[in-house]
Amino acid sequence: MAQLPRNSSSRLDPRGPLVFSTHALGRAPGSEHTETRVAPAPAELRVGLVGVPDGAELELTVRLDAVAEGVLVTATARAPVTGECARCLEPLAQQVEVRFQELFEYSPGVGSDAADGYSLDGDLLDIEPALRDALVLALPLAPLCRDDCPGLCVDCGVQLAKAGPEHSHGPAIDPRWAGLQKLQQFEIPQFETPTDLPDRSGQDMNR
């Protein structure tokens, strides 16, 4: 999955759906501003069998708190999740909710701090990298259509939820005796008495 850089040299677009302005917040520690919005989901939010559809509606609640070092962002996001059940492979549709908190510094960090931290671009900040990390980590590695999904029959592959509790292939056969079952497919002649045996006494012995 492509990752966005934590600190980019390109200027942020104030019209970006995940870009927030801190202009009304000011830089006085203790000031706070909360904003809610619906934004399209970034691309490639996916892990294994499930993901957030590209452009799906994200419900965001973002709180900005001015602190001495920068702006502390506390955000909650709700997103739709689609994919396949890990047990029965049926399509599923769920909701995931994540909460994350990140500090956006007024000045970019130096050295290792620059790679690990976030910084403001003037009065703007972009929550997409932090939102992306939070959503991807929240996606289940083994999603289930329901907690008690019985999965597929190991013998025929039918979905057990549709087949019902009566679905069965008979008693389990010890694999060491499985070869004997094949012998039942062939008919072995049964002779009731010695007189039933073919008489070979008159065969030409010179052949």
| Tens of pLDDT, residues 167-179 | 666 566 666 666 6
- What is the rounded distance in angstroms from the CA atom of residue 159 to the CA atom of residue 89? 9
Is 31 inside any structural domain? yes
Is 151 inside any structural domain? no
- What is the rounded distance in angstroms from the CA atom of residue 69 to the CA atom of residue 206? 112
Is 148 inside any structural domain? no
pLDDT band at 108 (very low <50, low <70, confident <90, very high): confident
| Domain containing residue 63 | 19-138
Question: Is the per-residue pLDDT at 2 higher than 50?
Answer: no
Is 79 inside any structural domain? yes
Is 172 inside any structural domain? no
pLDDT of residue 117: 81
| Amino acid letter, 183 | L
pLDDT band at 50 (very low <50, low <70, confident <90, very high): very high
Strands (E), 67-200: 70-84, 91-105, 118-119, 124-126
Average pLDDT over residues 130-139: 96
Instruction: For the beta carbon of residue 54, count every other beta carbon within 10 angstroms.
Output: 12
pLDDT of residue 4: 41
Average pLDDT over residues 68-84: 96
- Report the largest interatomic distance among the alpha carbons of the chain, rounded to a whole angstrom: 120
Is 124 inside any structural domain? yes
- What is the rounded distance in angstroms from the CA atom of residue 100 to the CA atom of residue 97? 10
pTM for the full predicted model: 0.69
pLDDT of residue 176: 65
Q: How many domains does the chain have?
A: 1
In tens, the pLDDT along 181-207 reads: 555 555 555 655 555 556 655 555 555
